Amino acid sequence: MSYYDRLMVYAKRVKKSVVKDTQKLRLKLMTKLEAMFDLAEESAKNAKTPKQRELFMRVMGYIGQVMNSLSKAFDEAALTEDLKVLEKMIDEAITKGKDKGTQAAPSGSPGS
């Protein structure tokens, strides 16, 4: 297996790993945010003043927004796109390397 082929295999392996690890991290973050949301809700229920209740409700709202954003995107799309570009670049490098190798062979023997 050539260096270029191994590079492409490695790039594809990294891409799969990133998707898997990103999903794992996203789940971990969502679990922690859910616990924070529940704690903020409990704090709002047990607030001593209306102002304190309002502040905890705001915290709940913000946590909800963060959870919503996290569920929609986690830069996974950008990272996946970057990895696609990397694969394309590797593929182009492999193709150009093969073209140069094919062109050099018929023109003469090495060292002439």
| The two structure tokens encoding residue 36 | 């924070």
Q: Are 79 and 22 in contact (CB under 8 A)?
A: yes
Q: Which of 76, 74, 68 is nearest to 33 (CA)?
A: 68
Residue 98 has pLDDT above 60, yes or no: yes
Residue 21 has pLDDT above 50, yes or no: yes
Q: What residue spans define the domains of the chain? A: 3-102
pLDDT, one tens digit per residue, over 24-78 is 888 888 899 899 899 899 998 998 889 888 888 889 899 888 888 777 776 666 6
Q: Are 44 and 60 in contact (CB under 8 A)?
A: yes
> Residue 63, Cβ neighbours under 10 Å: how many?
19
Q: Long-range contacts for 1-8 (Cβ within 8 Å, ≥24 apart)?
A: 4/90, 4/93, 4/94, 4/97, 5/94, 7/90, 8/87, 8/90, 8/91, 8/94
Residue 4 has pLDDT above 90, yes or no: no
Percent of the chain whose pLDDT exceeds 90: 8
pTM of the model: 0.57
